[in-house]
Amino acid sequence: MASPPPLLLLRSLLFLSLPWFFISSTSSNPTPQPYVVYMGSSSNGDREDVEAAELSHLQLLSSISSRQKSQKVSLLHHYFHAFRGFSAMLMESEASELSGHEKVLSVFPDPVLQLHTTRSWDFLEVGSSDQTRSQYHHPSNDVIIGVIDTGIWPESPSFSDEGVDEVPARWKGTCMGASDFKKSNCNRKLVGARYYGIQSSSSSGTGTGTESTKVSGSPRDSVGHGTHTASTAGGALVVNASYYGLAEGTARGGLSSTRIASYKACTEEGCSGSVILKAIDDAIRDGVDIISISIGSSSIFQSDYLHDPIAIGAFHAEQMGVLVVCSGGNDGPDPYTVVNTAPWIFTAAASSIDRDFQSAVVLGNGRTFTGSAINFSNLTRSKKYPLVYAKTAAANFTPADEARNCLPGSIDRTKVAGKIVVCVDIYPMGSRKIKKLVVEDAKAKGMILIGENQNGDPFDSGVFPFTQVDNVAGYKILKYISSAKYPTATVLKTTAVSDQRPAPTVASFSSRGPGELTENILKPDIMAPGVAILAAVIPKNEPGTVPVGKEPPKFSIKSGTSMSCPHVSGAAAIIKSVHKAWSSSMIKSALMTTATFVNNEGKPLMNSSKSLANPHEIGVGEISPYRALHPGLVFETTPKDYLKLLCYLGYSQKNISSMAGYEFHCPENSGDELISDVNYPSISIGKLSRHGSARVVTRTVTNVGPANSTYIASVDSPMGLTVKVYPSKIDFRPNAGRVSYNVSFQGKEAAGGYSFGSLTWSDGRHSVRTVFAVNVE
């Protein structure tokens, strides 16, 4: 019998000698919990292999453990390519001891993050000529987007590889098989699929006392979120796609030749931070160009950069030239709710497009009111049903206020069965889905919800007749109920309405800035379509969702910054396909400085409250992918810039060096206010003293246009805020492709609070716009 490999033998000996790997079964010991142990950059040029990484992690654990021999424990995940670390089951005391180890940057409980959950691409291309678009829609482009989400449904036509070239030789990923997922499900379009399922341990049978870890699961999507985001980012062209006839047209991603690699890190219950870190490490190693993550923490519990798994993974992706795009969260419209705000992350806000989904209410007196909804009602105009206000149908001992809001247990079934029920939307604790289920469960015929749909996202009620009307229409409906002897109504099937104006507008749910960790970087970065987006889904046949005689849909309509994120990822893929040598920060800059700040009426962008939108809502504006192909100038932000930023935030030089993978020296002068000087494509000053001197920030631009160019600066600033640029004219020549300039801000006469404006450099052909946000105190 052959001898075991040296590394395997050493690992077995380590397992035998490690008292940490045995835990007493007595109830006096605390229960171990999953923790992430982050150890910085993998400075090894070839990177560690998995066995070497596992051994080093075991050695580290042996140095701090004092457990007794009884129960075996296994490590959960190893990070060894772009960065070093692992996740393991630790007791709090062990985690505390590990956090003080010289090789460890941070130790934190494994967080459970949440999902942030067509015509949209056509809408983004308004104003781009057919020649410009077709020039770059060519299947020879080999950009790979790694989508970290709930997995993928490979049979969807959005992942067909028809007309797509062979998989690039640089691709090092894999297609993991499972009982419901064949390796042959991957193709030239879907180039890879990984999963990180439930881990179980069993004896290795070698007599060494070690454990082997088996992972059960599948790359297949059982939720639908990952399939939707992946097809939005890089789906193939699918003609006549629709959601049961709604939003019919050609579904596609940003660039139909883009490759997709799927990393299943989430379930319906959420996403483990340790698994997301593993997926990021794998994606970098596999060779993706862009990573798309429609996942994030709650805005209430945001971690600092060394305890945030997405921020950690994204930093090392940036080090290795991989752009990470993330959703900004769905906790708007309150300020300070945006998440995924690390400067090295491209953070997306959500907007509407020029399409709406409407469902009409027809009253017994002939009056018709238009509501917002997605329903596949089989009701018709010719037949009306009794109409009742839920307030008058309260169950026994139920406050009328609860009944009119249609909260669980508040309605008397006998008073609403077979009728159209009118509810109001006042209590935030009762979502539209809950209200609909309450009414449907009471055997009602349909439902009218009164309340402003500021989110703009239509609720999908499936086959149940539902619509949401505004307060004005709602008042008239209630007045009709109170005045008619026998009030009746019907709710009609949804129709799609195109060419809505104004569009885009900011979605109310889209999380707002400023960022909680620092206000000296503007977040979110940019806005993209995230309301009522048609894309591929898994064909689920859930009760009440599929119309009679229909098959489960291949496409569906979803809303959230989860949907805006893959639009930005797809836009970045368009840039990467043309400018293959551009760094991630150059791509990010190109999209930011060319973003549009006007709607389809030619007026400034608005929010859901019909007020002017500001950069804490939209970042620099709405993405304009084809304008970004020729930005003229770009801002290059390097990993060294981000390391300086960490110095300014007060992180230790030792930890920053570990993140860098080399000895890094912080500037002598460090302070949060210096973050504004990081060479970012936008400018944010979190505190400008009204009585102090002018604040000067520096920026450096790189010419990516004609070698001989001259740019002139123009400033759009609010009254009272004095903004000056010097020099106001910059020249580029073949031997001088980078130029620095200064911008000064003086707020002596400015209003208190945030002021917003922009600086634009123009050479007559290119307009390079930098948005600024300045908080005057």
Catalytic residues: 149, 225, 562
Percent helix / strand / coil, the chain, rounded to 5: 25, 30, 45
Give the bridge partners for 264, in sequence order: 149, 195
Q: Can you read off the two tokens belonging to residue 228?
A: 């939707």
For tokens 């490690």, the residue is 18
- Report the interhelical angle of 639-648 vs 309-319 (nearest 10°): 140
Task: Report strand pairing: 22-23 vs 71-72.
Answer: antiparallel
Name 88's Cβ contacts closer than 8 Å, sequence gap at least 6.
34, 35, 37, 57, 61, 73, 75, 76
Residues 596 and 571: beta-carbon distance below 8 Å: no
CA angle 441, 447, 451 (to 5 degrees): 125
Give the bridge partners for 496, in sequence order: 357
Taking the C-alpha atoms of residue 701 and residue 766, their distance in angstroms, rounded to an integer, is: 14
Taking the C-alpha atoms of residue 125 and residue 707, their distance in angstroms, rounded to an integer, is: 28
Residues 423 and 390: beta-carbon distance below 8 Å: yes
Residues 143 and 290: beta-carbon distance below 8 Å: yes
Handedness of CA 351, 291, 55, 41 (dihedral sign): negative
Tally Cβ neighbours within 10 Å of residue 398: 15
Nearest residue to 412 via CA among 439, 437, 450, 433:
439
Tally Cβ neighbours within 10 Å of residue 38: 25
Q: How far is CA 644 from the centre of its chain?
A: 26
Instruction: State residue 207 phi and psi, 5-degree precision.
Output: 80, 10
Name 230's Cβ contacts closer than 8 Å, sequence gap at least 6.
145, 147, 149, 152, 158, 159, 260, 262, 536, 566
Residues 374 and 246: beta-carbon distance below 8 Å: yes
Nearest residue to 172 via CA among 290, 279, 287, 283:
287
